């Protein structure tokens, strides 16, 4: 037996690119100490990672670090999609951060380095083939965020948010690890596909109470990461305390990462008859609680945070179809996974557009503010206001935000194909609750400004927009519109 593994470096190229970006950013920051150079290098690295992922993913599936038939690194269509998405989201968030970085609110080198590290975690996550790689990748994705959340100088809220996030997240990781360890104790395997085969073939393993406990712990630990109810309480406080671009990253890339991890274990490793009911319950609770609490929010970012909790529920909903036997046929299962992935892609585009628009409408370095601060914003800034309106309407799932509409349609369709009509109805009714608050924000954008208008320097003054933020906003909005007209692009990619 050959002691030295042959390593397929082409398959690893995206990870090399992402990790290389992080290192390069650090070096450039040390050597040149020019903020602009650091940001440009980080941006180029993100672009390179996206291109690399797309190129590698365009070919056949590649795998490496194999023991027998089980591989720890599997770079296929899903991994490429995740890699491209995470890299582009990082690029977008970097663009949104430029004004705050330029104003000296956060140290540039550290900020870009941490963001690139987090991106590396996201890229590796998509290709992870065993539980250890998966959990380490997820932690690489999350760990830099504890610091990023707290990186706003002199902000108490920011520090509090960071500590909340840190504590909750560490507990979640512990649960996940414990679940993984128990699963190893039961089966002696760590590779996802091997676990899946073992648990499918040997029903006596499935019936062990220990297996049930392991599955539950693993799922719940990952549910923390996607902020699913009842493990959601950290999200609103953390989002609201974090700088706006970091909140955007948390609710898009980080959430996508959690979903990918969840999808990987549910699809490949765990028995569907055990995960299905748990996921269905999580989905129903998450969307309902998220929507109901969002109704009462008065702060913009908190509202977006709660709405993203609800959106996590919609993402999980297709997986809930696994609870029923009709949803566990091979065809229905792959449709459900594709639907969850497709919804997540539609969602991150719209969510990033919403955060970009809020950033563009707020003064440099400010937090999200209250809904009152956005009142009449679309009258002062028609284009930016319209972009925010489009993103919110899309999140609500209504035309003209067709991307969001098709996202909802995809979920409902996969649920009905899986025979889970009741869950489809829950999703549908939640969309109605969701509209109530999205509509409130959207209507406020066009509402006449309050009567007592401050004469000068007040909240209603025109806010100049920084070029980079405008570009990010324009690109994400165009992406949302294009996906709305041609949703088949996403459906094809998510189904691979």
Interface with other proteins by CB under 8 A: which residues?
393, 398-400, 405-406, 408-410, 412-413, 416-417, 421, 424-425, 428-429, 431-432, 435-436, 439, 443, 446, 486-488, 491-492, 495
Query: Is residue 179 helix, strand or coil?
Result: helix
| All residues at 6 or more sequence positions from 258 whose CB lies less than 8 Å from its CB, including other chains | 138, 222, 224, 225, 226, 227
- Residue (149 or 340) nearer to other proteins, CB: 340
CB of 252 to other proteins, least distance (A): 23
- Residue (247 or 293) nearer to other proteins, CB: 293
- Residue (44 or 479) nearer to other proteins, CB: 479
Say how far apart CA 468 and CA 97 lie, in whole Å.
Answer: 9
> Six-digit token pair at 289?
């609680």
CB of 317 to other proteins, least distance (A): 13
- Residue (251 or 414) nearer to other proteins, CB: 414
> Closest by alpha carbon to 256, among 387, 130, 118, 147?
118
Q: What is the DSSP string of 197-230?
A: HHHHH-HHHHT-HHHHHHHHHHHHHHHHHTT-TT
- Cα 20 to Cα 43, 132, 312, 326, 341, distances in angstroms: 12, 22, 31, 46, 28
> Closest by alpha carbon to 111, among 73, 83, 152?
152
CB of 14 to other proteins, least distance (A): 26
- Residue (268 or 413) nearer to other proteins, CB: 413
- Residue (145 or 396) nearer to other proteins, CB: 396
CB of 324 to other proteins, least distance (A): 14
Eight-state DSSP code of residue 155? -
CB of 417 to other proteins, least distance (A): 5
Query: Is residue 71 helix, strand or coil?
Result: strand
- Residue (369 or 495) nearer to other proteins, CB: 495
- Residue (64 or 410) nearer to other proteins, CB: 410
Q: Checking phi first, is residue 294 left (phi over 0); if not, alpha (psi -120 to 50) or beta?
A: alpha
Instruction: State the Cα angle at 458 between 438 and 159, rounded to 5°.
Output: 65
Residue position matching structure tokens 């406990």 = 213
CB of 157 to other proteins, least distance (A): 32
CB of 337 to other proteins, least distance (A): 14
- Cα 99 to Cα 92, 107, 144, 364, distances in angstroms: 13, 12, 21, 6
Say how far apart CA 220 and CA 419 lie, in whole Å.
Answer: 25
Q: Checking phi first, is residue 4 left (phi over 0); if not, alpha (psi -120 to 50) or beta?
A: beta
CB of 490 to other proteins, least distance (A): 9
Query: Residues 369, 370, 374, 376: is their CA dihedral positive or negative?
Result: negative
CB of 338 to other proteins, least distance (A): 9
- Residue (30 or 443) nearer to other proteins, CB: 443
C-beta of residue 134 within 8 angstroms of C-beta of residue 213: no
């Amino acid at each position: 037996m050959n002691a030295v593994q042959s390593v397929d470096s082409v398959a690893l190229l995206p990870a090399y690119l992402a990790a290389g970006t992080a290192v390069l950013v650090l070096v450039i920051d040390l050597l040149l100490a020019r903020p602009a150079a650091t940001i440009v290098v980080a941006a180029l690295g993100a672009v390179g990672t996206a291109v690399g992922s797309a190129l590698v993913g365009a070919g056949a599936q590649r795998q490496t670090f194999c023991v027998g038939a089980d591989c720890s690194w599997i770079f296929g269509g899903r991994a490429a999609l995740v890699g491209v998405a995470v890299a582009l989201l990082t690029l977008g968030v970097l663009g949104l951060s430029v004004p705050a970085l330029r104003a000296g609110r956060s140290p540039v080198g550290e900020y870009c380095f941490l963001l690139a590290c987090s991106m590396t975690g996201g890229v590796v996550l998509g290709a992870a083939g065993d539980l250890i790689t998966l959990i380490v990748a997820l932690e690489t994705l999350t760990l830099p965020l504890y610091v990023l959340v707290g990186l706003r100088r002199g902000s108490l809220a920011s520090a509090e948010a960071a500590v909340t996030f840190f504590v909750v997240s560490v507990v979640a990781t512990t649960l996940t690890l414990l679940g993984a360890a128990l699963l190893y104790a039961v089966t002696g395997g760590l590779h996802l596909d091997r676990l899946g085969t073992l648990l499918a073939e040997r029903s006596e393993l499935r019936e062990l109470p220990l297996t049930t406990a392991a599955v539950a712990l693993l799922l719940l630990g990952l549910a923390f990461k996607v902020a699913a109810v009842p493990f959601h309480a950290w999200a609103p406080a953390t989002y609201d305390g974090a700088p706006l671009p970091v909140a955007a990253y948390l609710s898009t890339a980080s959430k996508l990462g959690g979903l990918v991890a969840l999808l990987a274990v549910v699809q490949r490793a765990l028995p569907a008859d055990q995960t299905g009911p748990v996921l269905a319950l999580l989905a129903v609770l998450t969307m309902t609680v998220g929507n109901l609490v969002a109704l009462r929010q008065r702060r913009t970012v908190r509202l977006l945070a709660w709405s993203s909790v609800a959106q996590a529920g919609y993402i999980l909903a297709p997986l809930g179809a696994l609870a029923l036997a009709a949803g566990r046929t091979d065809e229905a299962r792959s449709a459900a996974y594709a639907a969850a992935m497709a919804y997540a892609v539609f969602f991150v585009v719209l969510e990033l557009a919403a955060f970009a628009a809020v950033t563009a409408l707020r003064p440099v370095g400010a937090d999200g503010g209250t809904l009152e601060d956005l009142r009449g914003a679309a009258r002062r800034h028609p284009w930016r206001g319209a972009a925010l309106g489009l993103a919110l309407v899309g999140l609500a799932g209504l035309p003209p935000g067709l991307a969001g509409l098709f996202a909802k349609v995809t979920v409902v369709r996969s649920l009905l194909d899986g025979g889970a009509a009741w869950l489809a109805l829950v999703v549908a009714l939640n969309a109605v609750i969701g509209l109530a608050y999205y509509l409130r924000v959207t209507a406020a954008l066009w509402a006449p400004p309050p009567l007592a208008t401050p004469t000068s320097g007040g909240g209603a003054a025109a806010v100049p927009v920084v070029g980079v933020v405008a570009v990010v906003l324009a690109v994400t909005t165009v992406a949302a519109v294009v996906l709305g007209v041609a949703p088949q692009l996403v459906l094809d990619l998510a189904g691979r």
